[in-house]
Amino acid sequence: MNDYPKPPFPKQGQPVPGSQKKMDPYPDCGEQSYKGSGRLEGKIALITGADSGIGRAVAIAFAREGADVVVAYLNEHEDAQETRAGRAGGRQCLLLPGDLAQKAHCQALVDKTVERFGRIDVLVNNAAFQMTHEHFEDIPDDEWVMTFDVNITAIFRICQAALKHMQPGSSIINTSSVNSDMPKPTLLPYATTKGAIANFTAGLAQMLGEKNIRVNCVAPGPIWTPLIVSSMPDEEVQNFGGQTPLGRPGQPVEVAPIYVLLASDEASYITGQRYGITGGKPML
């Protein structure tokens, strides 16, 4: 059993979108620990927000399970290179930077993936943006729009573009949040989009069932990622995850296995579901 760190953590504010390399303690994305067993052998996976945090852990796990991976990210080139270096196993890894808030880039991600690999077997919509606001009237209009563009509109656009390149048995996995069930008021725009992702997932799963394309979402609780240290006040970062029954935040590597399951053929009868990875915080 790993003895993962518990709060309090050092002060470490960073500008958005944050750098994993600068975090203390450094998140565990499975670089040293994840061992694959061929569960995704030969699959092609497109993963957004895969430069760091949960996305990096998923990319590493998928590669070590035998998948070729496309790492989509904003502009965190150094973090993305570390994701590529950590994949191991000799699998191919394509890095595609760009802004998911732009419709043309959502289409380009799919086009470049298909140009390189010919198809998409697994689509993981994981990228997200959040900022903290104590008062409703302090939320800028452009920030509200950008949060929706990145967190939910991009998922709609990428799914629509990717669908024609996905065969029966393919899998779409969206990253929701515990905030879809218990919205944190200071994260109102983010929490609202995460509720939308849960509903989008449930509805799309029903629409794509006849195509035998499965759609599920994962709802993480407090996970130690650059999104946290770049978007929350110091006092929240210092105590992050301490209120869970396990008394600590989760590490990205602890979230990756559910994505592996949902991407694999073992989950052939699982669709339209939301899986909470919350450290014991109930989702009812």
- Answer whether 95's CB lies under 8 Å from 71's CB: yes
Distance of CA 79 to the CA centre of its chain: 15
- Answer whether 203's CB lies under 8 Å from 174's CB: no
The answer, yes or no, to whether residue 43 has pLDDT greater than 80, is yes
In a domain, 84, yes or no: yes
Residues 258-278 have pLDDT tens digits of 999 999 999 999 999 999 999
In a domain, 1, yes or no: no
In a domain, 178, yes or no: yes
pLDDT at position 91, please? 85
Distance CA 48, CA 151 (A): 11
In a domain, 160, yes or no: yes
In a domain, 40, yes or no: yes
Q: How far is CA 214 from CA 44, 124, 155, in A?
A: 15, 12, 15
In a domain, 3, yes or no: no
Domain count, the chain: 1
Range 159-188 average pLDDT: 97
Distance CA 120, CA 110 (A): 8
Residues 9-34 have pLDDT tens digits of 999 989 998 999 999 999 999 999 99
Q: Could you tell me what percent of the chain has a pLDDT over 90?
A: 93
Residues 98-137 have pLDDT tens digits of 999 999 999 999 999 999 999 999 999 999 999 999 999 9
pLDDT at position 90, please? 66
Check 34, 73, 190, 275 and give the catalytic one: 190
In a domain, 283, yes or no: no
Distance CA 284, CA 271 (A): 18
pLDDT at position 81, please? 94
In a domain, 269, yes or no: yes
User: Average pLDDT of the chain?
Assistant: 96
- DSSP conformational letter for 125: E
Q: Write out the residue range of the structural domain in which residue 203 sits.
A: 22-277
Range 69-88 average pLDDT: 92
259 catalytic? Reply is: no
Residue 32, class by beta-carbon neighbours within 10 Å (0-12 exposed, 13-18 middle, 19+ buried)?
exposed
pTM above 0.75, yes or no: yes
CATH of the domain at 64: 3.40.50.720
The answer, yes or no, to whether residue 284 has pLDDT greater than 80, is no
Residues 144-164 have pLDDT tens digits of 999 999 999 999 999 999 999
